[in-house]
Amino acid sequence: MRFDQHTVVLLTRPSDPPELPQDAIDRLRDAHLAHQAGLVQQGLVLAAGPFLHPDDEQLRGFVVLSIAPDEARALFANDPAVRAGRLVARVTSWLLPEGTLRFESVPVPQSMLEAASGD
């Protein structure tokens, strides 16, 4: 059997994120989304999105990439929310039977305002 290999980034909230005022958190979220959108525009992200109602409240988001794990680590080390200590990027390889998943090109929001608009 043949397998497709993808790189997965699991974004988690650290147990002790820095306390920030809400306006700073909002700016970090927008910067995180803009960073993510930039990766999508470069063709590196196959799928990405937040988790809703996870059993583990530290789970925040999931990203599937078309690059090697080391490259993903370097890219996510530059994510503004990761740099600020609000998110941790956990990187791994993911194997699944060849052809199991197909990814379509889907636009991602570049800010919380855009995400909230639903367009």
Domain ranges for the chain, please list them: 1-115
Backbone angles phi, psi at 89, to 5 degrees: -100, 115
Exposed/middle/buried for residue 116 (C-beta within 10 Å: 0-12, 13-18, 19+):
exposed
What CATH code is assigned to 1-115? 3.30.70.1060
Share of the chain above pLDDT 90, in %: 76
Query: Is residue 119's pLDDT more than 60?
Result: no
Q: How far apart are CA 2 and CA 73, in angstroms?
A: 26
Average pLDDT over residues 32-37: 94
Angle at Cα 29 formed by Cα 35 and Cα 117, nearest 5°?
Answer: 95
Average pLDDT rounded to a whole number, residues 57-71: 95
Work out the pLDDT band at 114, boundaries 50, 70, 90: confident
- State the pTM of this model: 0.85
Q: Of 21, 41, 8, 34, whose CA–CA distance to 86 is shortest?
A: 21
